[in-house]
Structure 1
Amino acid sequence: MNLLPLFVMAVQFRSVTPVIHTLKYFQTTSSDIPNFPDYFVVGHVDDVPISRYDSKSRKFEAKHEWMNKMETDFAHFWERLTQYNIDIEQTFKVNFEIAKERFNQTGGVHMLQVMTGCAWDDETDEVVDGWEDLSYDGEDFLSFELQTQRWIAIQQQAFGTKHKWDQWDNLNQYWKHYITEICSHWLKKLMSHGGGFLMRTELPVMSLLQKTPSSPITCHVTGFYPYKSALFWRKDGTELYEDVEMGETLPNHDGTFQMTAHLKAELPADAEDRYECVFQLSGVEGDMVTKLDRKLILSNERDREEEVRKMTLAVAGSVVLLVLLALLLVVLVMIYKRRQAKYMPASGDGDSELTPRPPSEPDSDASLKSVSQPAST
């Protein structure tokens, strides 16, 4: 099991209604990685992050408010967990130096990771599995087998540690007790307080994406919960295995997940009638299907073409508007000049003619003259 890529593993299945719950802690110590804590540990319930501690903050943090209700004096409880992780950090770094010696390494970028946890069946109330797995530089190194209480060496450099730990009965009894009693106790407690959050169901948004017309068509699903899900392409009702590349299942910032499936096949002309992307979510009956429709594919190139088209239309509209404004201006100038010509004096007459009055306005001088002077006899 490779723990390096953020401890995220894709799960493919066809069943619903899970009854198996897991509690896992992932511890990592590293060297010579800039802006990266030397040691950190994250806790997951059913692949949902619930807690974190790192060597920079030196503080154990709960990721959800409902976790504060697990203990009456939760502030003191988190303080004790912080001190516990500080102690574990020192032990872990010592083991890291031992691992580097086994590989004859002194400097450079290296990483030691441990996954510890258990799986519990909430129907039978039984612990069905448990883990204490070590990896070094991304490769499996050493693993504890619960059934035999023995250690399995995956690499040659781990055989010395295996032989030593196999003879350490108290250590193996502790790991059995931790997995079957301590881990399962905390898992039940977490499920009891956070079941409403951890057992919720959120349906995803499905989209078809394509960078260029020659790129693979990506089926992107985001915003779903729980983690257990399946995404695949079908052709003529049959699931495709060739020409399909699966992406990782990744967490979103809001606690949901996203995943992708890339269709790399050369599509025939009638592909829209034959291909479809299918998503299955644990706890949800039936498939969520998005049929291949080229009009629905979101593409960077298509978006750029649409932007160019809109810009071209906008520029053309602006040109037409400017032409219309220019014509309107010409018409207004012509009208103004005609009106000015109508009311200006004739050329060469000087002041012999006054500007004519409108026909509705009487000649005031003539009216006074007719009143003040009597008619001649």
Structure 2
Amino acid sequence: QIAIMNCFGLLLLFHVASSVKHSLRYFLTATHGVHDFPEFFGAATVDEVQVGYCDSNIKTAKPKQDWMMKLIERNPEHLEWYSQKCLGSQHVFRANIDILKQRLNLTKGPHILQRMNGCEWDDETGEVIGFNQYGYNGEDFLALDLKTLTWTAPKSQAVLTKLIWDGEKARLEHNKNYYIYKCPDWLKNYIRHGKSFLQRTVHPSVSLLQKTPSSVVTCHATGFYPERATMFWRKDGQELHEGVEKGEILPNNDGTFQMSVDLNISSVTAEDWRRYDCIFLFAGLKDSITTRLDRTMIRTNQDESSQIRIVIAVISVVIAIIIIAVAFTAYKKRNGKSTLKLDSSSNLIKYKLNKIN
């Protein structure tokens, strides 16, 4: 599973940098010897939003967005095409894993073969870029060069596969036709149908976080869309680079994104805090979200620990009162009986002792 995440990390380094570029990507993964994980699964994304999914357990493709579901309802053959591709790719990937295990003389598992393929389209210039990349056991394995129609092998273990695939001319021409023509046409169609969703702007919730009073201050933004955004720290209105560490943009379960940027405050005096602020900015937009460095606005682990300690203290007091009350009642029962009554107007527990004459 670690190898799966590492390989996805390598494949996802290919980001959309411009606000006018759109992308259609397919992620396919086949596994062997990975417990509690599908032997094959695939996902399709449009502008980094997952729109479809399939795996070896459900054995069919399923749309993931409402607008994609509506498109499928009008074109059911579209979903059928994806389902057939999912099933066919599953058999091909399994066979390729067996071939690579023998070719590379690998006996121990697990084995993970992945592919990221698709295209980008610039709606201003019309430029189209196609890509087809493979990863094996967490490392880059092969990448298709559409200009030369040859495969690139970053590691010596992939050279033999490259030579074999370079000789498959019909397959290479099919790849070129798909990535340069068919893929962009599908992408444009998806953009039209999902325009209101894909081209929306959702601003984030921004918080200042800190583990301890001496640790770095993290400016954290979550719930924003699209992912083409940046965050940075400023001092006196100027962007800071020293003592700053930016995190990656990560997806949330609801299709939005999150990111963070850390500021080392070890050399920042209390008087200088007001000179610092955190900026969140969408690419291509002028409006930004500014968060001033303010100690009163920082959420820390110590705050949570203090709250827990307070709750524990209150519970302890309540338990102590109950124990005393029970002991007191037991003592009184020796000479009389007691009844417990709740006075709802004051929410206080009162004891009424009725003596037996």
* TM tier relative to shorter chain: 0.7 to 0.9
Measured in 1, the distance between the counterparts of 2:147 and 2:291 equals 44
Determine the C-alpha separation between the residues in 2 that align with 1:68 and 1:178.
Answer: 24
Matches within 5 A, 1:120-159: 120-127=121-128, 129-159=129-159
Match of 2:42 in 1: 41
Q: Residue 12 of structure 1 contacts residue 229 of structure 1 at CA under 8 Å; is this kept in 2?
A: no
CA contact (8 A) 2:27 2:117 kept: yes
- Kept in 2, the 8 Å contact 1:233–1:278? The answer is yes
Contact 1:216/1:263, CA 8 A, preserved across alignment: yes
CA distance in 1, matches of 2:243, 2:105: 42
- The answer (yes or no) to whether the contact 2:44–2:51 under 8 Å persists in 1 is yes
Deviations 1:146-177 (A, max 9, x none): 22222111010111121222222212111111
CA–CA separation in structure 1 for the residues paired with 2:163 and 2:312: 72
Match of 2:89 in 1: 88
1:310, distance to aligned residue in structure 2 (A): 7.5
State which drifts further: 75-84 or 185-194: 75-84
Inter-partner Cα distance in structure 1 for 2:61 and 2:301: 43
Per the alignment, in what secondary structure is the counterpart of residue 161 of structure 1? Answer: helix
Aligned-partner Cα distance in 2 for 1:315–1:89: 59
Inter-partner Cα distance in structure 2 for 1:176 and 1:11: 22
Change (3 A) 1:118 1:11: closer
In the alignment, what sits opposite 1:254? 254
What CA distance in whole angstroms lies between the structure 2 residues aligned with 1:183 and 1:10? Answer: 17
Q: Counterpart of 1:154 in 2: which secondary structure?
A: coil
CA distance in 1, matches of 2:55, 2:170: 29
Q: Is the CA contact 2:278–2:290 (under 8 Å) kept in the aligned structure 1?
A: yes
Amino acid at match of 2:68: M
The Cα of 1:82 is off from its aligned counterpart by 1.2
Where structure 2 has 5 or more consecutive residues not aligned to the other structure, the ranges are: 1-5, 321-357
> How far apart, in 2, do the equivalents of 1:12 and 1:185 lie?
18
Q: Secondary structure at the match of 1:4?
A: helix
After superposition, give the CA deviation of every residue in 1:41-88 in whole Å (9 maximum; x if it has no partner). Answer: 111111111111111111201001211332565445423421221011
The one-letter amino acid paired with 2:9 is P
Tell me the TM-score normalised to structure 1 length: 0.76
Change beyond 3 A, Cα 1:172–1:11: closer
Which residue in 2 is equivalent to 1:294? 295
User: What is the correspondence of 1:285-324 to structure 2 with a 5 Å cutoff?
Assistant: 285-306=286-307, 308=309
Q: Give deviations 1:333-373, integer Å, cap 9, x for gaps.
A: xxxxxxxxxxxxxxxxxxxxxxxxxxxxxxxxxxxxxxxxx
Q: Which residue of 2 aligns with 1:182?
A: 182
Q: 1:160 to 1:266 in 2, by over 3 A?
A: same
**Aligned in 2, Cα 1:222/1:69: closer, same or farther, shift over 3 Å?**
same
Distance 1:144 1:10 in 2: 15
1:264 is aligned to 2:264: yes
CA positional deviation for 1:283: 4.3
Letter in 2 for 1:112: L
Tell me the TM-score normalized by structure 2. Answer: 0.80
SS in structure 2 of the partner of residue 253 of structure 1 = coil
Tell me the residue number matched to 1:374.
Answer: none
SS in 1 for 2:215: coil
1:6 Cα deviation (Å)? 8.6
Q: Deviations over 1:74-126 (max 9, x none)?
A: 44542342122101110111112222333321232221111101011112333
CA distance in 2: counterparts of 1:178 and 1:38, whole angstroms: 26
Task: Summarize the Cα distance change of 1:80–1:147 in structure 2 as closer, same or farther, 3 Å threshold.
Answer: closer
- 2:214/2:265 contact within 8 Å kept: no
Which deviates further from its counterpart, 299-308 or 171-180? 299-308
Q: Is the 8 A contact 2:276 2:292 kept in 1?
A: yes
Following superposition, the deviation at residue 311 of structure 1 comes to 7.2
Structure 2 Cα separation of the partners of residues 279 and 110 of structure 1: 40
Instruction: Give the number of the structure whose residues are more often strand, by fraction.
Output: 2
Conserved? CA contact 1:12–1:230, under 8 Å: no
2:111 maps to 110
Aligned length: 314
**Cα–Cα, structure 1 residues 99 and 261, in superposed 2: closer, same or farther, change >3 Å?**
farther
Aligned to 1:78: 79
In the alignment, which residue of structure 1 is the partner of 2:196? 196
Supply the AA of the counterpart residue of 2:41: F
Q: Secondary structure at the match of 1:241?
A: coil
Tell me if structure 1 keeps the 8 A contact 2:7–2:137.
Answer: no
Question: Cα deviation per residue 1:272-303 (whole Å; 9 max; x = unaligned)?
Answer: 12322221113432332212111100012123
Question: Partners in 2 of 1:101 and 1:141 — Cα distance?
Answer: 16
Q: Which stretch shifts more, 277-286 or 296-305?
A: 277-286
Distance 1:12 1:112, change over 3 A: closer
Q: Would the aligned equivalents of 2:117 and 2:132 in 1 still touch at CA under 8 Å? A: yes
Say what the alpha-carbon RMSD is for the aligned residues: 2.7
Contact 1:10–1:249 at 8 Å: present in 2 too? no
